């Protein structure tokens, strides 16, 4: 009886903590980008390669965590939130790590030099995008409290506030993107065209990162709305 008590079989593994750990891992991936950028901006691509490997390693870990969570969410599980919404949220969390890896990959592959005039603005832009991911991580840190309170109206209000912050931050990143593009356009004639093309591509990817972070937020919002 004890070996297979119905009471023991009743409890599935809670996805809450693993989801939060996955988000932390994905965000850790994103945060490393600023170190990568600082080293890359000096042109030392040997040091940058080491950091990119670090990012790739973190991304791989996040990927494994994602698969593990999916494995432990069979559709016979009864949860306070729809399983599909939770899996959707997980997919977007994982995309954060993927974007970080992409950005580092493109920059390293081209051994990209950032034009001096736009360097400070570019860094500010990247920071702002990483901050968007930070806001998403902040909101996700409330996931355990949400489950604990049984999705109480107060807790939902609190998380909604955090999600508003996230949207604001994404908006700031958007505005910075426009400014960076403008600044690059002003100096683009002085640099090799192909390098500039890829620079535009990196700018786009950084904007994408903020976008994905925002989408993590909107998935969380869907989870709350019931």
Partner 1 sequence: MTVIAEYGQWFVLLACLFGFFMAWGVGANDVANAMGTSVGSRALTVKQAIIIAMVFEFAGAYLAGGEVTGTIRKGIIDANVMAGSPELLVYGMMSSLLAAAIWLVIASMMGWPVSTTHTIVGAIVGFAAVGIGVEYVQWGKVTSIVMSWVVSPVLAGTLAFFIFRSVHKLILNTDDPFGNAKRYVPGYMFLTAFMITMVTFTKGLKHVGVGLSFGESVLISLAVSFAVMLLGVALLKRVTIDEEADRHFRFASVEKVFAILMIFTACAMAFAHGSNDVANAVGPLAAIINVVANQGNILAESAMPAWVLLLGGGGIVVGLATFGYKVMGTIGRKITELTPSRGFAAELAAATTVVLASGTGLPISTTHTLVGAVLGVGMARGISALNLRVVGTIFASWIVTLPAGAFLAIIFFFMFKGIFG
Q: Provide the token pair at 222.
A: 């869907």
**12 is an interface residue for partner 1 by CB under 8 A:** yes
Structure tokens of 97? 């790590």
**Between 78 and 193, CB nearer to partner 1:** 78
Pick from 128, 121, 75, 64: nearest CA to 97: 64
Residue among 207, 58, 38, 18 nearest 114 (CA): 38
136 vs 146, beta carbon nearer partner 1 = 146
Shortest distance, CB of residue 86 to partner 1, whole angstroms? 10
**Could you say whether residue 195 binds partner 1 (CB under 8 A)?**
no
- Candidates 46, 71, 116, 153; binder of partner 1 (CB under 8 A) is 153
State yes or no: residue 71 binds partner 1 (CB under 8 A): no
CB of 27 to partner 1, least distance (A): 17
CB proximity list for 134: less than 8 A, separation 6 or greater = 27, 31
Rounded to an integer, what distance in angstroms lies between the CA atom of residue 5 and that of residue 146?
A: 29
Helix axes 193-224, 83-110, angle to 10 degrees: 170
In the numeric block, which tokens belong to residue 15?
Answer: 């996805």
Q: Which of 46, 71, 116, 150 binds partner 1 (CB under 8 A)?
A: 150
User: Measured between alpha carbons, how far apart are the two ends of the chain, in Å?
Assistant: 39
Q: How far is the CB of 75 from partner 1 (least distance, A)?
A: 10
| 84 lines the binding site for partner 1 (CB under 8 A) | no
Decide whether 80 or 117 has the Cβ nearer to partner 1.
80
- Point out which residues bind partner 1 (CB under 8 A): 1-16, 73, 76-80, 144-145, 147-155
């Amino acid at each position: 009886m004890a070996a297979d008590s119905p009471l023991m079989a009743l409890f599935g593994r809670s996805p809450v903590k693993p989801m939060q750990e996955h988000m932390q891992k994905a965000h850790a991936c994103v945060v490393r980008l600023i170190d990568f950028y600082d080293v890359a901006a000096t042109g030392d691509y040997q040091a940058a390669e080491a950091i990119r490997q670090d990012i790739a390693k973190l991304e791989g870990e996040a990927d494994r965590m994602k698969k593990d969570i999916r494995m432990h969410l069979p559709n016979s599980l009864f949860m306070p939130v729809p399983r599909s919404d939770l899996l959707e949220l997980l997919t977007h969390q994982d995309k954060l790590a993927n974007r970080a890896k992409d950005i580092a990959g493109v920059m390293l592959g081209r051994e990209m030099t950032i034009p001096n005039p736009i360097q400070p603005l570019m860094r500010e832009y990247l920071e702002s995008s990483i901050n968007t991911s930070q806001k998403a991580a902040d909101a996700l840190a409330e996931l355990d409290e949400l489950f604990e309170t049984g999705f109480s109206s107060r807790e939902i209000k609190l998380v909604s506030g955090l999600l508003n912050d996230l949207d604001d931050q994404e908006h700031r990143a958007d505005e910075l993107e426009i400014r960076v593009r403008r600044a690059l356009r002003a100096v683009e004639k002085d640099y090799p065209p192909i390098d500039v093309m890829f620079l535009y591509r990196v700018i786009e990817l950084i904007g994408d990162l903020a976008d994905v972070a925002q989408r993590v937020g909107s998935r969380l919002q869907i989870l709350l709305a019931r």
